[in-house]
Amino acid sequence: MSTFTTRTSLPRRTFLRGLGATTLALPLLDAMVPALTASAKTAAKPVRRLGYFFMPMGADMSRWTPPGKDKLDELSFILDSLAPVKDRVSILTNLEVKNAYPGTHATSNASFLSCARAKHTESNDYFLGTTVDQIAAREIGRGTQLPSLELAMDMMQTVGQCDNGYACVYQNNLSWSSPTTPLPAEAHPRIVFEMLFGEGGSKADRQAALRKRASLLDFVKDDLTRLERSLGAADRAKVGHYLESVRDVERRIQRAEAGVAENPLPDLDRPVGVPASYAEHARLMFDLQLLAMQGDVTRVVTFQLARETSNRTYPETGVVDPHHPLSHHGNDPDKIARMAKINRFHVAIFAGFLQKLAATKEGDGTLLDNSLLLYGSGMGNPNVHDHVNLPIIVAGGAAGGMKGGRHLRYDQPMPLANLHLTLLDRAGVRLEKFQDSTGKVDGLFEPLGI
């Protein structure tokens, strides 16, 4: 005779609530698992997540492309930071975006998630296509606080034309909810924090409310105390680790804000009140995404690591040249080598994010297992503005059958739209076709049902 537990499980959408409209989402806990037989307790079904990460201005593909084919036995110079998570990563070589031609920085950015042809205009009659992240958000984002989260590293307010007669909107925005509706991205960590953990009111209202108190966690401590009384030891430890991560992000945001007074001449591409170091800013933005995913605040994220034509410099790499001029290297070997160091730097920050996801337990797996993440660019060789042989990484997805440790090298160019279609399908979003797709990608996933 089976013995059933009598415990009532917590809903997955459980929040700690403070005064006003402040809420704090919680990670997946054992207490959220429906009551089962004592001999057959399993973890709650994990949610599916999609993340899209844009690297501007292509890459030095000679230092990007791993040697060999099929198995990812050896990593290249640019990709070597992926070694700790190599079994959860696949590299796809020779993907293209035909609709990005005639070949510009604007269309590189615009086509990366849309695979659509941007209308050539300098005015506000711009027209592109709905991006894959927004197609996903309509399906897997409906049950979350934020259907999608759009982030960037640059807060650009430029209007008019930015590149060869294309409106600036094409390279300022990765996400489009319709062919005529670009979604602006947020670059300020404080505002992102408020979007995730402050509910209701305008951004200004949430900002004012948060600044009146020392910490979000202090604000929800009464509700937290009540919750902890009902949790087992393992769940209490899990909540404790999660809340310490939230507090650490708060501290880093506060330090960045305090540093504004000490930095009277901030980087023009950097919003006031964010860390002076690009790497520190990027890692903070990635940590905010991790918290959003762990708390199931959102299941769809886009992040623009820098905008096309960015003249940002990366002193952390030892390269003093601005990125955009360096990308037009004229086949100068020294300039190409310096550009590769910037490519490597960007990938290393992304690799650090993957390692944190892999270290974050969720159910029977990890956050990385329960996510599908695409990193890459809409441009291949920036010196000639081409859109073939794109630098592309796919990570995560073990829970969805992704094999990992693969290098899929195609003899003929394959539409990037095929990869988008495949990732949507694995996240439970079924489409017959996406833009110029010709089918799904083979070899990246185990067959459905396995």
Query: 124: phi > 0 → left, psi -120 to 50 → alpha, else beta; which?
Result: alpha
| Site of tokens 């989402």 | 25
> What is the per-residue pLDDT for 11?
64
Neighbours of 9 (CB within 10 A): 16
Portions of the chain given CATH number 3.40.720? 49-187+279-285+299-450
CA 340 – CA 352 distance, rounded (Å): 18
Of 4-18, 38-52, 122-136, 432-446, least confident by mean pLDDT is: 4-18
Q: Which of 387, 395, 415, 397 is nearest to 350 (CA)?
A: 395
Mean pLDDT of 158-184: 82
Query: Could you tell me the pLDDT band of residue 2, with boundaries at 50, 70 and 90?
Result: very low
Query: Could you tell me the pLDDT band of residue 372, with boundaries at 50, 70 and 90?
Result: very high
The beta-strand segments (E) located in 5-88 are 15-17, 23-25, 49-54, 70-71
Write out the H or E segment, with its range, that includes residue 362: strand 361-362
Give one DSSP letter per residue of 85-149, joined into a string.
GGGGEEEEEEEE-GGGTTT-HHHHHHHHHH--PPP--SSS-------HHHHHHHHHTTTSSSS-E
pLDDT at 211 over 70: no
> What is the per-residue pLDDT for 229?
73
pLDDT at 382 over 50: yes
Q: Which of 14, 95, 21, 126 is nearest to 441 (CA)?
A: 95
CA 165 – CA 244 distance, rounded (Å): 48
Write out the H or E segment, with its range, that includes residue 286: helix 278-294
Helices and strands per DSSP (H, E), number in the chain: 13, 16
Query: Could you tell me the pLDDT band of residue 195, with boundaries at 50, 70 and 90?
Result: confident
pLDDT at 260 over 80: no
Assign domain 49-187+279-285+299-450 to a CATH class.
Answer: alpha beta
Alpha carbon 85 to chain centroid, angstroms: 17
CA 373 – CA 261 distance, rounded (Å): 37
Query: 404: phi > 0 → left, psi -120 to 50 → alpha, else beta; which?
Result: left
pLDDT at 249 over 80: no
Write out the H or E segment, with its range, that includes residue 392: strand 392-396
CA 433 – CA 403 distance, rounded (Å): 24
pLDDT at 266 over 60: no
Percent of the chain at pLDDT > 90 equals 54
> What is the per-residue pLDDT for 42?
39
pLDDT at 391 over 90: yes
CA 60 – CA 339 distance, rounded (Å): 7
Give me the chain's average pLDDT, please. 82
For the segment 220-237, what is each residue's pLDDT rounded down to a tens digit?
Answer: 666 667 777 777 777 777
Most confident of 151-165, 238-252, 393-407: 393-407
> Residues 21, 199: contact at Cβ < 8 Å?
yes
User: Who has greater pLDDT, 366 or 18?
Assistant: 366
Beta bridge partner(s), residue 70: 407
pTM higher than 0.85? no
> What is the per-residue pLDDT for 44?
46
Query: Could you tell me the pLDDT band of residue 423, with boundaries at 50, 70 and 90?
Result: very high
User: Who has greater pLDDT, 4 or 34?
Assistant: 34
> What is the per-residue pLDDT for 255?
63
> What is the per-residue pLDDT for 399?
84
Size of the chain in residues: 450
CA 34 – CA 36 distance, rounded (Å): 6
> Residues 213, 179: contact at Cβ < 8 Å?
no
* CA separation, residue 287 to residues 81, 183, 203, 282, 290 (Å): 18, 22, 20, 9, 5
- What backbone torsions phi and psi does residue 85 show, to the nearest 5 degrees? -120, 25
Mean pLDDT of 61-75: 93
Percent of the chain at pLDDT > 70 equals 74
